[in-house]
Amino acid sequence: MSDPCDSCSQSVEDALARDVRLQVDRSTVDNQRLCPTCFADWITRYKEEMSPKAADSGSTDSEIIVD
Ligand SMILES: [Zn+2]
């Protein structure tokens, strides 16, 4: 049994899927099942969006967890 990718809706095998959780202040704010392609895109987008803010504030409590 394989579930679809949350981003592109294509079926993705468990062996290839990446379950990504984004946590801010210890609470889960984003939880997605992604295929390898969408996972790479997601990480790239996350870094682009979060890096400048992290640099501005000096610190951040957000964290990516990849199962
Ligand atoms: Zn996908």
Give the pLDDT score at 48.
87
Rounded to the nearest angstrom, the distance between the alpha carbon of 37 and the centre of ligand 1 is: 6
Ligand 1 centroid from CA 53, angstroms: 27
Q: How far is the CA of 51 from the centre of ligand 1 (A)?
A: 23
| Cα 49 to averaged position of ligand 1 atoms, centre (Å) | 20
pLDDT values of the chain reduced to their tens digit, one per residue, 67 residues: 578 999 999 999 999 999 999 888 889 888 999 999 999 999 898 888 876 665 565 556 778 888 7
Residues in the chain: 67
* 27-34 β-sheet, strand order: 27-34, 18-24, 63-66
Cα distance between the two ends of the chain: 18
Half-sphere exposure of 66 (CA within 13 A, CB side): 10
Q: Where are the domains of the chain?
A: 18-66
Task: Say what the pLDDT of residue 10 is.
Answer: 95
